[in-house]
Amino acid sequence: MRFAKGALPCSFDPKLGVHFRSSDFSFTYDSGIFGPKPEFRSLDAIRGSLRDPNCDGPDPVYSIVMDVGREEHRNQLHKRMLLFGVVAYASGRLGAEPVRSQGHIHSFAPHCGWSTPELFEIWQGTAIVYAQETVEYNPGKCVAVSAGPGDKVVVPPGWAHFVVNASPDNCLIFGAWCDRQYGFTYDAIRARGGLAWFPILNPDSTIGWEPNSAYRSTELSLRHARSYPELNVDDKLPIYQQFAADPNRIQWVSEPAQMDALWPEFEP
């Protein structure tokens, strides 16, 4: 199973003064924008979920800044338990795999009692957001969503997921809305040596998929990013701008109970 080779990466303006600096894999912020120093994810930190835990690859694999925003929104973001993050992935490969994260489930946020959803927006490059319903032996539905600059992808509550850099010659950059009390759970995933499918980087730079034998055999649904009218997500407006225009618009990210009737049948 494979995705066709994507177009050359371009950029999308998120309308937020955050800039990636490739020289040291860090971020800079315009006046009026707050954000932390980056955290770096080393190759050693993600080996337990890779197809080949002993592979070579870029190190660090990616850098991440959590809690980014406009100063004028700082109090609202805390009040609403919302957190905006930005991530940059290195180019290259991890053995037979493309550069990717290790995969996780969101732990239950104390303030709402949910394993909360996440709203991604691709800024540069081509991404694949992989998600599966559970980390049990039967993983349930397994979905891989290809997305380019400006595309949005929603991972629903409780689904395990990782993000792939599907443009091996370029960096991948994306932003995401998540819950302020976010936490990542890895144990069940590491116990099975990863999630139910491994992305494989083919010689022609397309992405193929190989099942993880630690799970029950299941089908993988390959799809492209879609619209989310049921969540009131605007296709064209950057996701930070959507919050700025109407903070209630994405409140479901930190209060998923607002959409409790939607989630049982929801797919990315």
180-222 tens-digit pLDDT? 999 988 999 999 999 999 999 999 989 999 999 999 999 999 9
pLDDT at residue 6 in the model: 39
pTM: 0.95
pLDDT at residue 24 in the model: 92
Q: What is the pLDDT of residues 175-189, one digit of tens each?
A: 999 999 999 889 999
The mean of the pLDDT values for the chain is 94
Q: What is the pLDDT of residues 57-99, one digit of tens each?
A: 999 999 999 999 999 999 999 999 999 999 999 999 999 999 9
* Ramachandran angles phi, psi of 10, nearest 5°: -130, -175
pLDDT at residue 9 in the model: 47
Cα–Cα distances in angstroms (integers) from residue 221 to residues 113, 143, 182, 263, 267, in the given order? 29, 5, 27, 18, 11
Q: What is the pLDDT of residues 127-144, one digit of tens each?
A: 999 999 999 999 999 999
Kindly state the percentage of the chain with pLDDT values over 70. 96
Q: Is residue 238 part of a domain?
A: yes
pLDDT at residue 246 in the model: 97
pLDDT at 170 over 70: yes
Range of the domain at 143: 14-265
pLDDT at 104 over 60: yes
Q: Is residue 92 part of a domain?
A: yes
pLDDT at 23 over 80: yes
pLDDT at 235 over 90: yes
Q: Is residue 9 part of a domain?
A: no
Domain count, the chain: 1
Q: Is residue 8 part of a domain?
A: no
Can you tell me whether residue 159 is helix, strand or coil? coil
Which structure tokens are listed for 98?
């493309």
pLDDT at 109 over 70: yes
**pLDDT range class, residue 11, cuts 50, 70, 90:** confident
Q: Is residue 81 part of a domain?
A: yes
Contact 41, 162 (CB under 8 A): no
pLDDT at 3 over 80: no
Nearest to 185 by CA among 85, 87, 93, 105: 105
CA 48 to chain centre: 19
Q: Is residue 169 part of a domain?
A: yes
Q: Say which CATH number the domain at 34 has.
A: 2.60.120.10
Cα–Cα distances in angstroms (integers) from residue 206 to residues 5, 70, 248, in the given order? 5, 38, 39
Q: Is residue 226 part of a domain?
A: yes
pLDDT at residue 10 in the model: 57
Nearest to 148 by CA among 1, 2, 3: 3
pLDDT at 40 over 90: yes
Give dist(CA 62, CA 100) in Å, integer: 8
Give dist(CA 60, CA 104) in Å, integer: 18
Q: Is residue 218 part of a domain?
A: yes
Q: Is the dihedral of CA 5, 105, 242, 222 positive or negative?
A: positive
Mean pLDDT, residues 230-240: 97
Nearest to 232 by CA among 253, 254, 211, 209: 253
